[in-house]
Structures are given as C-alpha cells and as structure tokens.
Structure 1
Amino acid sequence: MGPPLEGEPKRKRTWVHCPIIVGAGPSGLAVAACLSDLGIPSLVLEKAHCIASLWQNRTYDRLCLHLPRQFCQLPLMPFPQAFPKYPSKHQFILYMESYASHFSIKPRFDAQVQSAEFDLELGCWRVCVGEEEEELVTRWLVVATGENAEPVVPEIPGMERFGGRVIHTSGYKSGSDFKGQKVLVVGCGNSGMEVSLDLCRHNASPFMVVRNSVHVLPREMLGFSTFGVAMALLKCLPLRLVDKFLLAMAQLILGDTDKLGLRRPKAGPIELKNLTGKTPVLDVGALSHIKSGHIKVMGAVKEIRKGGVRFVDGRKEDMDAIVLATGYKSNVPSWLKGDDIFTGEGMPQTPFPNGWKGSNGLYCVGFTRRGLLGTASDAHNIAKDINLQWKENN
C-alpha cells in the first residue's frame, strides 16, 4: 500500500514508535500491562468511550463471572482479597479500572480503527483511525478486539412481522423490563440460561429455544469449582476420562438433562470445547426452573408471526418479546487487511497455544476460546516477543 492515489483524501500520517494495541478490553489491557512491566510503552486504541466497553455497555445487570476469580484475573495483578469467589459484573469492571490505573494504561478513546494494512515499502503497519482518517504507522500491531466484538443476529423467517420488542442480549439489562410478559429466548448457552433465569425472577414467562445439543454442568461439585476440578484432573488423567467423570457427576447432581429437552452432545464437554470452542453451560439456578416448568424448553423456530411464533413441531405460542441469546463474533475481517493470522471468520488459523503471532510484527490476543486464562498466556508471549525486538532497536 503506497501513498494515496490522486483524488483520495490526504491523511495525517503519524509515526508511533511503540506497539499499537487495538481494543481496550481485558485482552488489550493485559498486553499493555505486560509490555509496561518490561518497560515498553504502547498506544491502546478503543472505539468506545471507556475501557471494557462490552462489560460496561453490553452485559445484563445480574451477570457474575462463571468461574472463580483466580481463573479470571489478568496478568501481574490478582483480584482484591475482599472480592467474592465469583465477582459481579460491577466488581470486575472496578478491577479492570484499577488494573489500567496501576499500569498507567491510558487508552485513546473514540478511536475506531477503519483499516489496518502492512506496507511493504515502509516495512510497517498503516492504521487508519477515525472519520478524519488519521494514519498511524507502527512496527507492531496487536489485535485485541476479541472473539466477542459484534453481536450475532440470526435471520429468522417472519421476524419483520412480529411487531413486539426484539433485542439481542447485548441490549438486555434486566427482567424487570419484561414483567408479566411471555418472552422467547433464542439460545441455550450461558447467556440464554441466565437471561431465562433472570426473567423468571421478575415474574416473566421465558420460552427458551434449544436448537442444538448442549452440555449443562453444575457450577460446583461438592463445594469445589467444576472448572477447577477439571483443570486439576487434566494434569494427571486423559481428557476423555476427565470428561466421563464430569458427566457422571453432572448426572448425579443435576439428573438426566435429556429428559428436559437438553440433549447432550456425543463429544464430552472438554473435548467439544477444544474442537469447536463451544462452552458448556455452568448451571447457576436455571435448571431448577426448567424442572418446575417456569422456564419452558422449546425446539427450533419455524417462523415468527405477528405477536407470536410457530415452532418446527407445529406448536404456536403468542409472545410479547424476543431476546436473542445468539452470541457474538469477531469483527477483524472488516478492518484488518492482508494478514496471515486470521481465517475469513476472524479467528486464528493456528489453534491455541500457538495462534498469537503472525508475520511482520502482527499479533493477536483474546481469540483463544479459553477465556481470560488464554488471554493471560497470549499477553505474556506477545510482550516477551516484542521485548526481544525492542532491545535490538532501542
């Protein structure tokens, strides 16, 4: 990519001597902190007006971490000891704000990256920022926008005819907005389960659509985190044996979920997570409401009609609102050009733990499908790799 062609708007070009990190969520902050610990500055670009914008602006009020805090802390700084085992959304945001302050990370907000491309002639990355198209030039570019950058909104036949409220979970805050209403919840992952539970607690009637098989595990086993138990067992036992143990304990604690319309996949929960990135649901109370009938499990939707829905089994139900608990996706393909790390879906081509580095000073973090543990691992690796080059040139 050379200089602007004739007729193109001229861009203000600024040389940035340090790494540019795109995204001020947990992943971007983690890399900035690891670089800071090695004495390397960075420029963090964030399209929103705050750090951790997904957590601050697009999560529901009752959200808590699904895993114990020791599995969710960022590098070099643990959670405060006074925090509970499963910190709330607001506590996690406070932790990240303290984290940014501790490492003197001061992102440039309202700085949306329009495009980024490696310039062979310059031997650097050209990063176009904002509506005025300022161009920043750097040797190192860290993509930290993560796998949850944009909501996934499925195309359901007849949605335009519905007439009622339709929102993605990114816009859902509390079941108090749906008191006394019949609500179709599309999706049965952790978000779908928790939204359904929240709706129940506010006297709404959720109908949860289960289109595919799903693993539901207890969040804890005999007072210990299920995730922690699994991680400990994997150190000394084969994965499939650990999966069999988890499923046996789930059957003992939760009962046969197949009878509730929640069919388990053929692959075990950890095997499936490694193969597809699909996370098992950790039950925090929704299952008891399913057993009592307060949360109704439904099959796939055939079509949406005015004020209601028709399912593939022929059943029809009137609905007041629809909540799409259909997840998120990467937005990398919309702005990163000519890279060698990402697939067309915006996920690393090389699986964890080796997907963090590309060529020409390009890195990615927050795409491991292993939560903040994966983020911490990638952040350390990226900082160490940049440090070797930094020492050679400074």
Structure 2
Amino acid sequence: MEDCVISTKEVEGKRVHDLFQAKMMSRSTRRRLWVPGSVIVGAGPSGLATAACLKEKGIPSLILERANCIASLWQHKTYDRLRLHLPKNFCELPLLPFPKDFPTYPTKQQFISYLESYAKHFDLEPAYNNTVVSAEFDEGCGFWRVRTGVGLKGDQETEYVCQWLIVATGENAEEIVPDFEGMDKFLGPVVHTSSYRRGDCFQGKSVLVVGCGNSGMEVSLDLCNHNACPSLVVRDSVHVLPQEMLGRSTFGLAMQLLEWFPVRLVDRFLLVISRIMLGNTAQLGLPRPKIGPLELKSITGKTPVLDVGTLAQIRTGKIKVVRGIKRLMRNAVEFVDGMVENFDAIILATGYRSTAPAWLKGKNLSSEEDGFPSKPFPDGWKGHNGLYAVGFTKRGLLGTSMDARRIAEDIEKQWKVRAVQFQGLC
C-alpha cells in the first residue's frame, strides 16, 4: 500500500493526522491523498469562481476536472456563433471584471479567453483528466472521501480526503438525448447541439431542430444564415422576449424594476413591450405560457428565450415551426398533428443534465433524480457535513458568483475556528 500523503500544515494538527492514518490504513490499496482545505469538482466557471474566492481568503483548494482543460463545455461543446445572452456585467466572475474593450455581449472565444485569464490571474491549476467516480462522507473519520480515475475511463484510481467538498459540475454536464420512436431507422445524422459548430455543412439541406430554447432558436438562425432549410420543433409554450428593450438589456431592465415592483407587475410590463416589439408570437406557432416569464423562471427554472433575429426569419418562412414529434422514419418525421415531412438531418437542442447523482453518494444536498439542490434558491448552496454546491441556481453566471462568495465566506468561518483550535494544541 502506498503511503498516505498528509500535509503537515493542516490546521487540525496532529490529532487529525493520527485519526486519518488510523482510519485509512485499514482500507484498500488505492492511492490516497489528504487535501487541506476543499476539493472542488469541476473546472468550469463555477469551480474557478469558488476557488478564486477561497484563495482570496487564504484557504487552499484542489480542483478536479475530468477533461483536459478549463470550461470544457464552452471549449468543446458550444456552437461558434454563441455569445453571452446577458450583458457582460451580469456574467463576470467574482474579483475580476471583463476587459473594458469587450463588447456588451462577449463572444464564445472572448468568454473562454476571460476564463483562461481568470485562472492565470488567481494561479488556479486544476488536476485535469480526473473523473470523479464517487464522493462519500465517512461518518467514522468525519471527512469526505472522493475517488477519481485518471482520464475519462476512470482508471488509475486515487482517493482524496478532505474536510469540505464543493460540487461545481453545474447544471449542464451531460447531454439529454431523447429516445424517439424509430430513431434507429432514420438514415440521416442525428446530432446533439454539443456536436454542432456551424451550419455550412448543412447548406441546401432540410434540417429539423428539436427544442425551442435559446440554443434551438440560435441554431435554427445559424442554419438559415448558411442557406439550409431549418424547421423548429415547438412542443410546448415558450416566452420569447427581445434581447433589449427601451435601449437597455431586457434582463437588466427587469432586475432594476424588481427592486421597486412585484414580479407579476414586472412580467406584465415585459409582455406588453414584447407584444409591441415582437408582435403576437402565438401567430408564429410560439404560444406563451399563462404564467409570466420571470414568475415561470422562479417556479420552474425555465429560461425565457431572448430573440437575436430568429423570429424575423420565422415570419419570412425561412424557418418553419412544427409541432412535437410522433415518430421517425427512414427519411422523414411524423409529427403529432399527423403531418409528415422529409428531412436530411436532425439536431437535438434538448439541453443537458447534472451528473452529480451518478457519483455523489447519500442525500446530503441534492436530489437523486436531477442532481439539483433539494433546497430552493437562495438556500441550495449549502448541504450537510461540509458539502456545498455552486452553479445550480438556474440563474446563470450571476447565480454562480453569488454561490461562490457565500461558500467562501462560510468555509472561512470554519477555517478560522480550526486555526484557533490548532493554536490551542501547540
């Protein structure tokens, strides 16, 4: 068995050292490492923000990342035309603003550049190619045991032991791929938006885009701009708002109005302005939910679509709106209204899910069903036994920053108490 590596700087002192060794020596032969401070799972914006906030308070952390880079979702699974949907002042991470020369809505590459600069600025060095296969609180020794395998296959197992565990894998860790009847019979390509980059290879082809959220709307527009013939599946009602209204970002205007007025009144205002600017979206095949956009977001987490030009192409007929899918055939799709149309390809803009339920053991924080915190916003960031979650608020990067600051402040209080206890042992 390899020796346990235990930091002599651990604030718990020799008593923790002895307890840890006694407990661990009796277990299996996997490599074990003691981590002073926190283990953070995920090197996306959530993990980087939390590590920076902890470092600013003098608290060490180790970031475990299954990919070979930071922000792998942004770097490897997003389409080229992507921009931040909200103004940059709502999307910057704690302690470091965007460069002043960045546009109001930074591009995908600009945001990646910002994250790389952020990691460099705070000297954050994640342990890459480390896939967490399980994380469990050990009641016997009072620490978290986080098992990883090097690489995406999970071989070369290592176990990290820590006082605090921070789940920063986010809401969008794994693609959701629906299982339509006849999917195995369709002859054309069926790809998730995580594999879509640009529409040039679909030029002149009939493409069905499944999903009418922001991604589905933008991919449809991108296909249209590359002379493809996209059809957009709209199964349910959806709120579409202009990205800006009255010369300001819709989101920023809504946040300011919420400081003075109740949600339902602000929703009513947004819908009136949207009707003036966008017209009646129901006539385009996009009926609105009965609940207003902000109230719906608060209750269900469903984000309203911010239009960046898709509605104009729907009006011209260049983007066709169709109903839900009943089944797929060799070269065609049958919809729930009985209509059958031929398609060359299908793109699934069906979103992502959390992977936390697959590796986080116990019911310390999240639901085993979807991996989101059991407690509603704004209290979902803290669990039991030193467990935290960041980036699960369904409120984008603004929610991530809020979580990161709260977690760092909470751990700092405990860190200071342990420092005092350690001094008492000396």
TM range (shorter): over 0.9
CA distance in 2, matches of 1:16, 1:285: 49
Distance of 2:327 and 2:384 partners within structure 1: 46
The CA distance in 2 between the partners of 1:336 and 1:312, in whole Å, is 38
User: SS where residue 130 of structure 2 aligns?
Assistant: coil
1:176 to 200, 205, 210: 200
- Of structures 1 and 2, the larger Rg is shown by 2
Q: Which amino acid aligns with 2:119?
A: A
Within the candidate set 105, 115, 124, 1:86 is matched to: 105
Q: Give 2:423's aligned residue.
A: none
What TM-score do the two structures reach when normalised by structure 1? 0.98
Q: Is residue 170 of structure 2 the alignment partner of residue 146 of structure 1?
A: yes
Q: Which residue of 1 aligns with 2:17?
A: none
How far apart, CA to CA, are the structure 1 residues paired with 2:363 and 2:130?
21
| Equivalent position of 1:354 in the other structure | 379
Give distance in 2, aligned partners of 1:182 and 1:235: 46
Q: CA deviation at 1:163?
A: 1.1
Kindly provide the CA deviation profile for residues 179-200 of structure 1, in whole angstroms up to 9, marking residues without a partner as x. Answer: 1110000000000000000000
Which residue is equivalent to 1:260?
284
CA distance in 1, matches of 2:34, 2:225: 54
| Alpha-carbon offset, residue 389 of structure 1 | 1.2
* 1:50 aligned partner: 69
Q: Aligned residue for 1:66? A: 85
Q: CA RMSD in A?
A: 1.2
Matches within 5 A, 1:126-141: 126-130=145-149, 131-141=155-165
Q: What number of residue pairs does the alignment pair up?
A: 391
Shift of 1:14: 1.1
2:403 to 344, 364, 378: 378
Distance in 2 (CA, whole Å) between partners of 1:332 and 1:204 is 37
Counterpart of 1:300 in structure 2 is: 324
Asked if residue 339 in structure 1 is aligned to residue 363 in structure 2, the reply is yes
One-letter amino acid of the structure 1 residue matched with residue 407 of structure 2: I
**Cα offsets for 1:248-284 (capped at 9, x unmatched):** 0000000000000001000000000000000000000
2:156 partner SS: coil
Amino acid at match of 2:235: R
SS in 1 for 2:209: strand
In structure 1, give the amino acid aligned to 2:209: V
Give deviations 1:258-311, integer Å, cap 9, x for gaps: 000001000000000000000000000000000000000000111000011011
Structure 1: any 5+ residue segments left out of the alignment? none
Runs of 4+ in 1 over 6 A off after TM superposition: 2-6
Gaps of 5+ in 2: 1-22, 150-154, 420-426
The alpha-carbon deviation at position 3 of structure 1 amounts to 6.5
Instruction: Supply the distance in 2 between the matched residues of 1:104 and 1:390 (Cα, whole angstroms).
Output: 21
Residue type of the alignment partner of 1:342: S
3-state SS, counterpart of residue 242 of structure 1: helix
Give the structure 2 partner of residue 288 of structure 1: 312
Residue type at the aligned position of 1:36:
K
Work out the CA distance in 2 between the residues paired with 1:97 and 1:393: 33
What pairs with 1:186-197 in structure 2 (closer than 5 Å)? 186-197=210-221
User: What is the deviation of 1:5?
Assistant: 9.5
SS class of match (1:195): helix
Percent of counterpart pairs with the same letter? 61
Distance in 2 (alpha carbons) for counterparts of 1:41 and 1:10: 27
| SS of corresponding position for 1:302 | strand
Describe how 1:9-28 pairs up with structure 2 within 5 A.
10-28=29-47
1:237 aligned to which of 261, 274, 278? 261
Segment drifting more, 188-197 vs 340-349: 340-349
Q: Are 1:389 and 2:408 an aligned pair?
A: no
1:107 to 118, 126, 133: 126
Residue 224 (1) aligns with residue 248 (2): yes
Post-superposition offset of 1:203: 0.4
Amino acid at match of 1:25: G
Pick closer, same or farther for the CA change 1:14–1:200 going to 2, 3 Å.
same
**Mapped partners of 1:136, 1:96: distance in 2:** 26
Shift of residue 392, structure 1, vs aligned partner: 2.0
Amino acid at match of 1:113: V
TM-superposed deviation, 1:393 = 2.0
- 1:310 pairs with 2:334: yes
Q: State how far apart, in whole Å, the 2-side matches of 1:48 and 1:92 are.
A: 18
CA deviations on 1:177-227 (whole Å, 9 max, x unpaired) are 211110000000000000000000000000100000000000000221000
C-alpha change, 1:391 and 1:5, in structure 2 (3 Å) is: closer
**How many Å separate the matches in 2 of 1:165 and 1:4?**
52
Deviates more, 1:210-219 or 1:384-393: 384-393
Question: Which residue matches 1:365?
Answer: 390
The Cα of 1:10 is off from its aligned counterpart by 2.2
